[in-house]
Amino acid sequence: MKRRMRNEALKAWAILFLVGGLNLDLRAQDIAVSSSASSAQSEAGQDTNTFSAYLLSARSDAEKGSLEEAFQQLEKAIDKGAGRDLVYYDPAFKELKAKYASELDVLLQRQYQQQYPTAGKAEIGYKIWSWYLDEEQELLPLKSMDQPPTASQMELIREHREERRDALLDLIEQMGWPRNSEVGEKAGEACFFLIQHSPPKILKKCLPLFIEVAMAGEADKAKAALMVDRFLVNKEGLQIFGTQAGRSANSGEGLSQQKLTLYPIADESNLAQRRKVLGLPAIEEYCKQLKVDYVPIEERPDYEPIKLKEKWRKKGYLLGT
């Protein structure tokens, strides 16, 4: 029974992995894994009341072709807190960005450094954060599509994603997994999101570095738990923290029509305590967010306990829980 469940998990995972980071189920799990994840989706601390007037003026000037005036207003908006997500991707600023790209980057990098004045590698942090925002912007249209992306769309997004990921891997090769105190929390969050959907060989290489930094209090342990689970589901069809869910690959219907179900969880009787230690939401709440039906083990007549593996402990996969 357990072997069959694991084989099914691996089979389903193989299909989901074909679309990797483009799979919105996996991305939903990234976001739902902890409440702090929302800080990586928008510029934290933005007060639209302080910069909205400047932003509107800049947009109006840009649409009229008055690029110099638009840039002056945009500079004021950035100084008041308008972040890269509001400034860099607005279609109204396309021509302005082409003319003032380097100037905009200087302003936005300075803004990032001001947010993390003690971060010794804030310049690198801004670069990492920018890569993440670029990726989110590219994926944004997919979230509202009624049909799956075309092959050409997927290929282009994958190409861009691999370029950003490879650039980040080069940085990780040089400095290890970026620490929050060095690059800022936004960049720390961004590292997770940029690496999380990588092939298993990359996760295997990055996971020990991520765990080391998380255990030192320099990265989010909840995110490390998600990466541990994703790696283990891919390799062994099992998970430790109950963060991974997938759709059955054994039906004639499309995957998107199948209900999400959790992959098998090792030592599930102690799952609640492990999640609590890491600050993860209760498994019932988490499953509700993902629209997964969770049945407690005492209500499953066919439940068979799965032991935690000693090799997982030695590799630090339990994250101190």
Q: Which amino acid is at 26?
A: L
Q: In a 3-state reduction of DSSP, which class is residue 266?
A: coil
pLDDT at 145: 66
pLDDT above 70 for 5:
no
- Rounded CA gap, 221 and 79, in Å? 33
> For residue 51, what are the CA distances in angstroms to 73, 107, 112, 115, 126?
10, 15, 16, 17, 21
Per DSSP, helices labelled H in the chain are 2-17, 24-32, 48-63, 67-79, 84-87, 94-115, 122-139, 151-175, 180-183, 185-195, 200-215, 221-236, 271-278, 283-290, 310-314
* Cβ within 8 Å of residue 203, ≥6 positions away: 195, 227, 230, 231, 234
228 with 266: CB under 8 angstroms?
A: no
User: pLDDT (tens digit, 9 = 90+) per residue, 13-65?
Assistant: 333 333 344 455 565 566 566 444 444 444 445 566 789 999 999 999 999 99
Going 41 to 130 to 139 to 197, the CA torsion angle's sign is negative
Q: Which amino acid is at 87?
A: V
Output phi, psi for 287, to 5 deg.
Answer: -65, -35
User: pLDDT (tens digit, 9 = 90+) per residue, 238-289?
Assistant: 999 999 998 865 555 555 567 889 999 999 999 999 999 999 999 999 999 9
- Rounded CA gap, 200 and 178, in Å? 20
